[in-house]
Structures are given as C-alpha cells and as structure tokens.
Structure 1
Amino acid sequence: MKYKELYKAKATPQLIYKLEDISAMLNLVSLKLQHLIISIVPDMMKADLIISHAGAGTCLEALELKKDLVAVVNDSLMGNHQVELAEKLASEGYCDYATLSSLNSVLSNIKTKKKIIFPRQDDSLLSDFLRHRLEMD
C-alpha cells in the first residue's frame, strides 16, 4: 500500500525526525499540520497509517478502526507502561512498535508486514459477568 499524505495533529516536544523526513521516507504526496483539534477520530477514520505515541486510548482507537498503526514509545521514561502495551500489541501482530531511535527503520519496513485485524470488543462481557456474579440470572 502506498501512503499519500502525512497529517500531524499535535505538536510533539521531542520530535527526532522532521515531518518532511518522515514524509520522504514514506514517499508521501502531501503534508498537513494542525495544532488544535476537538477530536482526532474523524481524521483517524480517513487515515491509512497512524503514527502515534503508545497511549492505550489512541492505540485502541486506531486498531478498532482497523488502521495500520506504528506505536512509538519514549524509551527514556522511567516506569513507562507504554512500552509494555506497544510490545504486546506488536508481538500479537496488531501493529508496529518503535522507539524514537528505531522509527526510521520501522517506517522503512512497514509495507512488508501483514497485520492482524484487532478483534471487536464484546460489549456483553461485563454485563454478563456482573449479572452472574450478582446472581441476577
């Protein structure tokens, strides 16, 4: 798959790569930058590839939308739970995982991997569990 456009929704204080460099790595046609948005979900829905920090909410939103995801963690943070999440999602085949130092390499190889579709959540699991546990069956 060829990606055509890079859209960056939020300024990142520790950006190692310039957006233009990432755009060149992926052979993108255009680049957009927007500093303030109300909701990123509409843009995520239009995206083919999402490069994001490895926060649980963002990762799950991207995967539920069946989007290619590169979850980037800052491995210099102490007690960084994002590393555990990103490594697990990547080991299951749902996304690619990168650190700031490995991002270039991951982006260079992103089109060669086949991703596994993240399963839909079962909305009835919690209510069924509570009904059973509270003996409401």
Structure 2
Amino acid sequence: MTTNCDEHPLTEGTAQALGEYMHGEPWVDMPEDTRLAYREHAAIFLAAFQGTGLQVHNTTNQAEAHPPIQRWSVETHDPAADEWIPGTPHRNRHHAVKRYEALTEQRPRWTDGTPVKRRIVREATQYSVEEQQ
C-alpha cells in the first residue's frame, strides 16, 4: 500500500511516537530513511481509522516547545540510607525491564542475605512555552 505521508496532520507526531517506542532512540537521532519508514507506517495506521467512525484527535499542545521526553530506570533501595538510588536511564521501557530482570537474576540479595528491593521508574519531562509579560 502506498500512502502520502502528508495526507493526515497527525502523521508526523504518530510517526515520532511509534519510532521512538519501537526504535528505542530519540527521533532526531534516527537516520532520515528510518524516519521516513515510520512516517509510512503512521500514514497507514491513520488511514485505517478513516471511515470507521473512530475519532483521532490532535492532542498536540500549541504551547509545547518540544515533544515530551520519557525515560525509564531501575532504582535500587539502599536499606542503610533508607532511600532509592537511581540507575542508568533507558529510552524505552523494554530496556529497563530487561535490566530489571538481569539485575534481579544476577544480584537478588545483598551480601548479608537480605533481598534487594528494586523498582522501575518512569521519568516524564514536558517542555512548554511560557507567556511573556
């Protein structure tokens, strides 16, 4: 199926969300041919909604300066300090889950035999344009 990527106003945002989720890296870091492929997939996806009665709404905030950023990390609870220690951030949840599973398998207990507590945390950053006074 051939589609025109510019047919639907949501194609770029949908492509970006799909690409970052599936590819695991920021949209701006992807090669242009990869971004084009995700635009094609988004156009096909959005075209499937036409004529179904389902509504696709543009939820882009006009005051949004940049797309939101989401990162996931595995935090470890330090019982001596009684606080959660952050881990390395990952650009998609899948990588954080794999890291969580690997850490749990490799190091399930502290040296004194106490089970290690871990959790997956999502950080979401949103950029907005402030009104000038």
Larger Rg belongs to? 2
Query: Which structure shows the higher strand fraction?
Result: 2
Structure-1-length-normalised TM-score:
0.23
Q: Does 1 or 2 have the higher relative contact order (CA < 8 Å, sep 6+)?
A: 2
Structure-2-length-normalised TM-score:
0.23
